[in-house]
Structure 1
Amino acid sequence: MKKYILTALLLSLGVTACKKSYIELQDPTKISTTDLYADANGLNLAVTAAYGTLQDIYGKGTSGTGMYLFTDVPSDNSNALVSGAGLGDFDLFTVAPENINLTTQWQSFYRCIARCNAIIARAPAVNMTATLRDRYIGEVKFLRALSYFNAVQIWGGVPLVTTEIANIDDALSYGRASVADVYAQIEKDFTDAESVLPVTYATTDLGRATNGAAKAMLGKVYLTEGNFTKCKAKLAELLPKGSNAWGYDLLPNYADIFSTTNEMNKEIIFAVRYTKGGYGTGSPFFNWFIPNQSGSTIATVGGGSGFNSIMQDLVDAFPATDPRKAVSIGTYTTTVNKVTTNYYYTKKYTDVPANANDSNNDWIVIRYADVELMYAEAENEINGPANAISYVNDIRRRAYGNTTNDLTPAQTATQASMRLAIENERRLELNMEGHRWFDLLRTNRAITVMNASFTKYQTKNGANVIQISAPHNLLFPIPLREIQINPKLTQNP
């Protein structure tokens, strides 16, 4: 899959037709839409190009803001230790509608959606086997659902575009759909994808969406909507671990999940693929996330940016005996004028870049530990903690290598105490993987948790204490540029 994405990104997708009154020249670096949808090979390239937009959505050194800015930085896990490009505004809840990162992310989502819509519209006319055509359509429905799922959690109701747009007037006819309507489409797309996608692919195609990935994401959607019964039923299809149809399981060693030599392992259900080497398809996360104060000390190529730096709050959340802390968190220490400062960074995206912002680290969208913890959450909401505790302890036993650190029934005697135990376990297990802020939104804990964090750590540092309040801090602004272009769009409070 990495090879195919590279091929697609080296070819610009565009229409090359010209008016007869001009000299007819064809750009050899572009593929006409006529040729692109002429046969199965062309359709495959179009599908691969749709996958390629995920790099813009989740983070790319040459373009794309990255989901981390919307999922980690606003939370109590991390902050952006830079003042430029409006990144720090996401940490301080001062994001204005003109913030360029909003526009970039919005456009990345709708670029992906547009490519998916074009494929869904044109694939039926392509001469190919029905099975392969259905699979391609299922793949892009998965990608479209993933884009809308991220967008609705960031902005609430967004324009719901499910057909190919032919002209600007059509594009400007869309206002904001309701949150309920967006979720209904997301459910439909993931369900459609689940029914036609395969269990697995050949090694060269690893990274394409499977029906297991569609089930896992659909379960997450149900959980986010508060439909715990449907969530539990859907995620149960992926159980039991190890003996399920997809072979999903927890790796024995937590660190092995994130190794660039062990990508697409049995714990990873869906990930955005990256390939380093100067092709424009490498991942930027290693350089982006290490401290900018570190220079070339940590990264021998490209230095650090400090875009997504671990906060003391997350460091303190780990028990001293938790082995995941050493795997997850690195420390860079500086001493200036006899003042020593510790900078913390995530070690989950460690690699040797080929160039600046050009590493091999894939972005893991969903993995099996997430499925187990979501199942525990749904089970607790339906039946209480009695059966939910075993799934949380399964994660803890992998982390600690024993049963000594299991949660006990006394610690999780009530549904409320189990909720907090699951919330904490998700924070530790999935730290810096783009889940924390959405978790806090889903459980209605964002205001309580963030205000406590601000109070504790800003008071300690002598800073003015920020407090956030509902509802306006729980959604990001619609990009100003989009509202100026399309008068049908309305702004969030």
Structure 2
Amino acid sequence: MKNFLQHPSRKVFLLTLLFISLTFTHCTDLVEEPKGLLAPESFFKTIPDVEAGLYGAYSQFVSVNLYGRELSILLMLRSDMAAIGDQGTTADRKQVDEFNMNSENPISRNVWNAFFRTISAANTTLRAIPTVSGDQAIKTRLEAEGRFIRAFSYFNLVRLYGDVPYLDSPVESTAQLVGVTRTPVDQIYKTIVDDMLFAKQHLPARHTGDVRNRATSGTAATVLADVYLTLKQFDKAAAEARYVITNAQGLYNYSLERNYQNLFNGALAGSLKEPIFVTDWHNTIADGGVNEDWLISQTRMRGLFDRSLSVVVPTMNVYQSWDARDYRRAVSLEDSVMVNGVKTAITQAARASVKRPHIAKYFRFPGTQSAGDDRRADNDYHIYRYADVLLMAAEAIAESEGVTPEAIGYVNQVRERARFTGTKMKDFPAEVSPTINTASFISLVREERRLELAFEFKRWYDIKRWGILQQVFTGPNALEARKVDPARDYLLPIPLDEIRLNGWTQNPGY
């Protein structure tokens, strides 16, 4: 592979697209016959081959560069809910946290590359589907799955980088990339919606075993609700969220887990009904930099546990402002540890590198850890779960129709679950008042999302779509004080290699 990758006529952007993580290909194929690797007819012969291609695309979501570590860390550090803990961590992470990153930041570059690898794998598989023989209904379903993967990847890319190149076919030669430009965000959103609507229509309601790491029609409708909220098309967002809620218990087998803690217990991951789309760390779709759960080590207390780095740690303001009566705080945060048999506050633990409460969702109940390797845990990450849909519905209804009993009821469902501690019901958080006005209700829903979905990679996207960057980082109630520039900081920089080799204009301020 080395000789091909270093060929002087190749572009870095092309290399991004050529690294396709298909489980049935090898590096030598790329070296000896690059066009053969990329031409779908050369290796897709059957429907199982197509499924393998889709697994290759999905594998990027559980790679170290996306939810395995880099994307997860980026989204948490970019938000106001977590900051760098141990200052001995790498400079690229500090740059993300402090809003002073540049176009050479490797985390941003790795996320960019990984999403384009995913898109390339999806496009290659989509091109192959018409060429294989088999049941047309199955082929249409697989097309819907490939289009979901592509659309979900682009949904993340446009929220992170703004205008990006839109590609809807596999790259089979460098000539295809001559003159490639960044496509305007509004055009990309049209393709995202088209792909998701197709996916909603043609994906199954459930997969074999009711696995949640493959997209279903419910997954597509959930993402559509999120897309429409982002576009401020609140009536459409409400319709999609209502569709999921109406069909939740019957068609899709979705429901709120009774105990909030169970959502973050690896031993229970396979039995949960609340997840809609997850990263499953014990699937078998790929290996080598893939399927490794890094958030245990990134969020656990350095100095108190082996292989623990205290990289992503909430500020004290996050902990202190979170009402102690809220059971979700106890689940989300670890504020004490056992030291010589004595329960000790982390703030008082002499060996703790960072004396602040830590995120507990990923390390407290990881489940089985094969061969003692904590990167092989069972605790899936929730990309979407049913509580998220209830809160999206409440927000969309309030924005398009005003406060209604329906919208209030969705929030109350989430709050009722939060009152159960695993052993008893509490009286906090209280039900929403039926007389609340629209502005206050929308503010309440936003706060409910911050707490209910804490550290689940949602907060930065919410900050961006609500346009509250200055408010949350520089306002009087800022949880994490940062100097931010709204003209620059809603977007990440386009990787410098892409700017140099493609002649694109950089995002403002970088």
- TM-score, normalised to structure 2, is 0.83
Confirm or deny: 8 A CA contact 2:78 2:96 kept in the other structure: yes
1:200-279 to 2 correspondence within 5 Å? 200-203=206-209, 206-240=212-246, 243-264=249-270, 265-275=272-282
1:8: how far off?
Answer: 5.8
1:307: how far off?
Answer: 2.6
Once the two structures are overlaid, the 10-residue window that deviates more, 445-454 or 423-432, is: 445-454
1:422-437 to 2 correspondence within 5 Å? 422-437=445-460
1:182: how far off?
Answer: 1.3
Does residue 469 (structure 1) correspond to residue 485 (structure 2)? The answer is yes
1:87-166 to 2 correspondence within 5 Å? 87-166=93-172
Name the amino acid aligned to 2:77. V
Match of 1:344 in 2: 357
* Separation in structure 1 between the aligned mates of residue 378 and residue 91 of structure 2, nearest angstrom: 25
- Choose which of 300, 317, 332 in structure 2 pairs with 1:290: 300
Cα distance, 1:378–1:340 mapped onto 2, change above 3 Å: same
> Across the two proteins, how many residue pairs are aligned to each other?
460
* Separation in structure 2 between the aligned mates of residue 235 and residue 42 of structure 1, nearest angstrom: 34
Match of 2:194 in 1: 188
Match of 1:358 in 2: 376
Name the amino acid aligned to 1:318. W
Once the two structures are overlaid, the 10-residue window that deviates more, 271-280 or 255-264, is: 271-280
1:453: how far off?
Answer: 6.7
Match of 2:417 in 1: 398
Cα distance, 1:288–1:341 mapped onto 2, change above 3 Å: closer
**TM-superposition CA deviations, 1:374-404 (whole Å, max 9, x none):** 0000111122223322211110000103584
Confirm or deny: 8 A CA contact 1:36 1:46 kept in the other structure: no
* Separation in structure 2 between the aligned mates of residue 275 and residue 209 of structure 1, nearest angstrom: 17
Match of 2:387 in 1: 369
* Separation in structure 1 between the aligned mates of residue 377 and residue 352 of structure 2, nearest angstrom: 33
Q: Matched residue of 1:385: which SS?
A: coil
- TM-score, normalised to structure 1, is 0.86
Name the amino acid aligned to 2:397. E
1:243: how far off?
Answer: 3.4
* Separation in structure 2 between the aligned mates of residue 77 and residue 209 of structure 1, nearest angstrom: 29
* Separation in structure 2 between the aligned mates of residue 444 and residue 346 of structure 1, nearest angstrom: 26
Once the two structures are overlaid, the 10-residue window that deviates more, 220-229 or 307-316, is: 307-316
Name the amino acid aligned to 1:474. Y
1:316-327 to 2 correspondence within 5 Å? 316-327=320-331
* Separation in structure 2 between the aligned mates of residue 49 and residue 153 of structure 1, nearest angstrom: 24
Match of 2:92 in 1: 86
Name the amino acid aligned to 1:423. R
1:35: how far off?
Answer: 5.5
Name the amino acid aligned to 2:493. P
Name the amino acid aligned to 1:418. F
Does residue 59 (structure 1) correspond to residue 67 (structure 2)? The answer is yes
1:14: how far off?
Answer: 6.8
Match of 1:461 in 2: none
1:438-457 to 2 correspondence within 5 Å? 438-452=461-475
1:373-388 to 2 correspondence within 5 Å? 373-387=391-405, 388=407
1:18: how far off?
Answer: 4.1
* Separation in structure 2 between the aligned mates of residue 340 and residue 308 of structure 1, nearest angstrom: 13
**TM-superposition CA deviations, 1:291-322 (whole Å, max 9, x none):** 333342xxxxxx11223212223212321111
1:213: how far off?
Answer: 0.2
Once the two structures are overlaid, the 10-residue window that deviates more, 110-119 or 467-476, is: 467-476
Q: Matched residue of 2:277: which SS?
A: strand
**TM-superposition CA deviations, 1:240-289 (whole Å, max 9, x none):** 47534212110111111122122252100011221299954231111122
Name the amino acid aligned to 2:399. E
Once the two structures are overlaid, the 10-residue window that deviates more, 124-133 or 256-265, is: 256-265
Does residue 173 (structure 1) correspond to residue 179 (structure 2)? The answer is yes
**TM-superposition CA deviations, 1:141-200 (whole Å, max 9, x none):** 111111111111111111111111122232343211111011111111111111110000
- Choose which of 49, 57, 76 in structure 2 pairs with 1:42: 49
Confirm or deny: 8 A CA contact 2:498 2:504 kept in the other structure: no
* Separation in structure 2 between the aligned mates of residue 346 and residue 270 of structure 1, nearest angstrom: 21
* Separation in structure 2 between the aligned mates of residue 312 and residue 335 of structure 1, nearest angstrom: 14
What 5-or-longer segments of structure 1 have no aligned partner?
1-6, 20-25, 297-302, 459-465
Match of 2:508 in 1: 492
Q: Matched residue of 1:366: which SS?
A: strand
Name the amino acid aligned to 1:188. D
Q: Matched residue of 2:382: which SS?
A: strand
Confirm or deny: 8 A CA contact 1:313 1:453 kept in the other structure: no
1:17: how far off?
Answer: 8.0
**TM-superposition CA deviations, 1:118-142 (whole Å, max 9, x none):** 1111110111111111111111111
Q: Matched residue of 1:128: which SS?
A: coil
Does residue 315 (structure 1) correspond to residue 319 (structure 2)? The answer is yes
Confirm or deny: 8 A CA contact 2:411 2:432 kept in the other structure: no
Match of 1:73 in 2: 77
Cα distance, 1:176–1:406 mapped onto 2, change above 3 Å: same
Q: Matched residue of 2:357: which SS?
A: strand
Name the amino acid aligned to 2:242. A
Match of 1:4 in 2: none
1:10: how far off?
Answer: 7.8
1:334: how far off?
Answer: 6.0
Name the amino acid aligned to 1:390. G
* Separation in structure 2 between the aligned mates of residue 180 and residue 11 of structure 1, nearest angstrom: 35
What 5-or-longer segments of structure 2 have no aligned partner?
1-20, 337-345
* Separation in structure 2 between the aligned mates of residue 140 and residue 396 of structure 1, nearest angstrom: 36
1:206: how far off?
Answer: 4.7
Confirm or deny: 8 A CA contact 1:15 1:31 kept in the other structure: no
Cα distance, 1:17–1:426 mapped onto 2, change above 3 Å: closer
Name the amino acid aligned to 1:475. L
- Choose which of 475, 479, 484 in structure 1 pairs with 2:495: 479
Match of 1:463 in 2: none
1:101: how far off?
Answer: 0.9
1:339: how far off?
Answer: 11
Name the amino acid aligned to 1:368. Y
* Separation in structure 2 between the aligned mates of residue 246 and residue 18 of structure 1, nearest angstrom: 45
